[in-house]
Amino acid sequence: KAGVTQTPRYLIKTRGQQVTLSCSPISGHRSVSWYQQTPGQGLQFLFEYFSETQRNKGNFPGRFSGRQFSNSRSEMNVSTLELGDSALYLCASSLAQGSTEAFFGQGTRLTVV
């Protein structure tokens, strides 16, 4: 069974640009969550999608958005990039909501210059 696949693995963008990251969950998993990891703030929850609907959202500005497609694949978008958005963005896949193991992809390393 293939694991969680995130693309691209590495990305360099300029301030003010926008970026789209992609996550393909484990086959059969319907929940996809996104996290931002930085040295200063650690791992922080961005949002979670289940059955194409955003169910939960963390404390991030509206520049961070996402969506989920009918095949459970998810994308997150960050507009008007800031230097502080440089981070490792991790996607987690779960079978369903609540009390199930969450499996992570390798992440997308975003650098904003």
Partner 1 sequence: SQQGEEDPQALSIQEGENATMNCSYKTSINNLQWYRQNSGRGLVHLILIRSNEREKHSGRLRVTLDTSKKSSSLLITASRAADTASYFCATDVYNNNDMRFGAGTRLTVKP
Contacting residues toward partner 1, per CB under 8 A: 4, 6, 31, 33, 35, 42-45, 48, 50, 55-56, 58-59, 88, 90, 92, 94, 97-107, 109
Residue (59 or 70) nearer to partner 1, CB: 59
Residue (80 or 107) nearer to partner 1, CB: 107
Cα distances from 7 to residues 3, 23, 41, 99, in angstroms, run: 13, 7, 23, 27
Q: State the nearest-atom distance from the C-beta of 75 to partner 1, in Å.
A: 18
Q: State the nearest-atom distance from the C-beta of 68 to partner 1, in Å.
A: 13
- Say which residue the tokens 């978008």 belong to: 77
**75: which strand partners?**
22, 67
Q: State the nearest-atom distance from the C-beta of 16 to partner 1, in Å.
A: 26
3-class SS of residue 12: strand
DSSP state of 97: S
Structure tokens at 79: 């507009």
Residue (65 or 106) nearer to partner 1, CB: 106
